[in-house]
Structures are given as C-alpha cells and as structure tokens.
Amino acid sequence: MSVTKPYNSRRGASCEDCGVETYPSEYYMVKDKIWDKAVPEDVDENRYIYLCIGCLEGRLGYSLTSKDFIKFPINNINSYTSDRLIDRLLSK
Ligand SMILES: [Zn+2]
C-alpha cells in the first residue's frame, strides 16, 4: 500500500487516508489486533497514525462493532462523538 503523508509534520489528528480531522468526533482506540490489520508494519512507529471510522473500515473491509474497541475512557461517548462512531460503539 502506498500512502502519501501530507500531514506528516502537522499537529492534530488528521485521518491518514482522507485528511479529515478525527478529533474529537472520531477519536477512539480499537484493539491492537484490529489496528495492526489496518495499519501496515512499515510505518514509522514514532509517528501517530489516525484514521476516521470510514477509512479504518475501508482498510479492514468490514464495519466495526463494540467488541473491536478497547474499554478505555477515550471510547466514552460524549457530545462530540460522531453518529457513526456511536453506532459502532453500540453495535453488537
Ligand atoms: Zn478518513
């Protein structure tokens, strides 16, 4: 997979694939095994990668469900959480 990185040195949490700002509406953490499938091994480990829900699902090829997310405060639904992230966090 070739990925261009226009946001490489930028602060923020821009989606790696589409550039949309993921914070705070789609700021979440999934389990390592899910993330490892979506994000190739050869990316610079010192760099934080962000993906919006749509692009993460695009890489994985399926829709996320609640069991794909870790139990962590970052995944708590708040007033900023996007509708589709809420949908995934609640889906079984
Ligand atoms: Zn995206």
Is the model more confident about 8 or about 41? 41
Note the pTM of the prediction, 2 decimals: 0.82
The predicted pLDDT at position 49 comes to 86
Percent of the chain residues topping a pLDDT of 70: 80
Q: CA-based diameter of the chain, in Å? A: 37
How close is the Cα of 66 to the center of ligand 1, in Å? 19
How many CB atoms neighbour CB 45 within 10 A? Answer: 8
Backbone torsions φ then ψ of 14, nearest 5 degrees: -75, 140
How close is the Cα of 50 to the center of ligand 1, in Å? 8
How close is the Cα of 16 to the center of ligand 1, in Å? 7
The predicted pLDDT at position 5 comes to 42
How close is the Cα of 21 to the center of ligand 1, in Å? 8
Q: What is the DSSP letter of 73?
A: G
Q: What is the DSSP letter of 47?
A: S
The predicted pLDDT at position 45 comes to 63
The predicted pLDDT at position 40 comes to 76
Q: Is the peptide bond before 24 cis (omega within 30 degrees of 0)?
A: yes
How close is the Cα of 83 to the center of ligand 1, in Å? 15
> CA-CA distance, 29 to 5, in Å (whole number)?
21
pLDDT at residue 32 tops 60: yes
